Amino acid sequence: MTSTFRILHVSTGNVCRSPITERLTRHALSDRLGDPLTRGLIVESAGTWGHEGAPMEANAEIVLADFGADATGFVGRELLDEHVIRADLVLTATRDHRAQVISMGHSAGLRTFTLKEFTRLVRAIDPATLPDARDEGVVERARALVRAAAALRGWLLAPSPDADEVYDPYGAPITFFRSIGDEINQALDPVVTALTGVSARH
How far, in Å, CA of 64 to CA of 108, rounded? Answer: 29
- Domain assignments of the chain as residue spans, ordered by start: 5-196
CB-CB neighbours of 157 under 10 Å:
11
CATH code given to domain 5-196: 3.40.50.2300
Interaxial angle between packed helices 58-66 and 17-33, expressed in degrees from 0 to 180 and rounded to the nearest 10: 20
Per-residue CA distances from 99 to 51, 93, 196 (Å): 20, 11, 28
Where is 33: in which H helix or E strand? helix 17-33
- CB count in 10 Å sphere of residue 112: 27
SS3 label, residue 44: strand
pLDDT at res. 2: 58
Torsion of CA 82, 85, 88, 92, to 10 degrees: 70
Per-residue pLDDT 10s for the chain (202 aa) are: 459 999 999 999 999 999 999 999 999 999 999 886 778 999 999 999 999 999 999 999 999 999 999 999 999 999 999 999 999 999 999 999 999 999 998 899 999 999 999 999 999 999 999 999 989 999 999 999 999 999 999 888 899 989 999 999 999 999 999 999 999 999 999 999 999 999 887 6
Contacts of 23 (CB under 8 A, 6+ apart): 64, 69, 70, 71, 74
pLDDT at position 191 is 98
3-state DSSP assignment of residue 121: helix
Of 54, 96, 47, 90, residue with least CA distance to 75 = 54
